[in-house]
Amino acid sequence: MLKKLLIFVVLLMPVVASGADKAKKDEPVEHLTDEQIYEQLKKLALVFETARDSFVEEADEKKMLEAAMNGMLQALDPHSSYLSADDFKEFNDKSQGEFGGLGIQITSDRGAVRVISPIDGTPADKAGIKAGDYITHIDGEQVFDMTLNQATKKMKGRPGTKVKLTIISEGEEPRTITLKRDIIKVESVKYEEKTMAGMEDDEDADKIGYIRISDFGATTAKELNKALEKLEKKDVIGYVLDVRNNPGGYLTAAIDVSDAFLDGGEIVSTRGRRETDIERNFAKPGDLANGKPVVVLINHGSASASEIVAGALQDNGRALVMGSQSFGKGSVQQQKPLGDGTAIHITIARYYTPSGRSIQNEGITPDVEVLQSKVEVLERKESLYSEASFKNALKNEESEKKKKDKSDDDDDKELTDAEKDALDYQLQRAMDMVRAMSKLQAHASIVPATPDDPIAMEIDAGDAATSDDKKSDDKKSDKK
Residue 315 is a catalytic residue: yes
Residue 329 is a catalytic residue: yes
Q: Cβ neighbours of residue 293 under 8 Å, at least 6 residues apart?
A: 237, 238, 239, 320, 433, 434, 437, 438, 441
Residue 304 is a catalytic residue: yes
Q: Which member of 84, 304, 324, 326 is catalytic?
A: 304
Question: What is the spatial distance between Cα 24 and Cα 41, in angstroms, rounded to a whole number?
Answer: 25
Q: Which member of 87, 215, 287, 315 is catalytic?
A: 315
Q: Which residues partner with 115 through β-bridges?
A: 106
Q: Which member of 188, 329, 331, 421 is catalytic?
A: 329
Three state DSSP letters for the chain:
CHHHHHHHHHHHHHHHHHCCCCCCCCCCCCCCCHHHHHHHHHHHHHHHHHHHHHCCCCCCHHHHHHHHHHHHHHCCCCCCEEECHHHHHHHHHHHCCEEEECCEEEEEECCEEEEEEECCCCHHHHCCCCCCCEEEEECCEECCCCCHHHHHHHHCCCCCCEEEEEEECCCCCCEEEEEECEEEECCCEEEEEECCCCCCCCCCCCCEEEEEECCECCCHHHHHHHHHHHHHHCCCCCEEEECCCCCCECHHHHHHHHHHHCCCCEEEEEECCCCCCEEEEECCCCCCCCCCCEEEEECCCCCCHHHHHHHHHHHCCCCEEEECCCCCCCEEEEEEECCCCCEEEEEEEEEECCCCCECCCCCCCCCEECCCCCCCCCCCCCCCCCHHHCCCCCCCHHHHHHHHHHHHHHHHCCCCHHHHHHHCHHHHHHHHHHHHHHHHHHHHHCCCCCCCCHHHHHHHHHHHHHHHHHHHHHCCCCCC
Question: What is the spatial distance between Cα 82 and Cα 70, in angstroms, rounded to a whole number?
Answer: 5
Question: What is the spatial distance between Cα 378 and Cα 374, in angstroms, rounded to a whole number?
Answer: 12
Q: Annotated catalytic sites, by residue?
A: 304, 315, 329
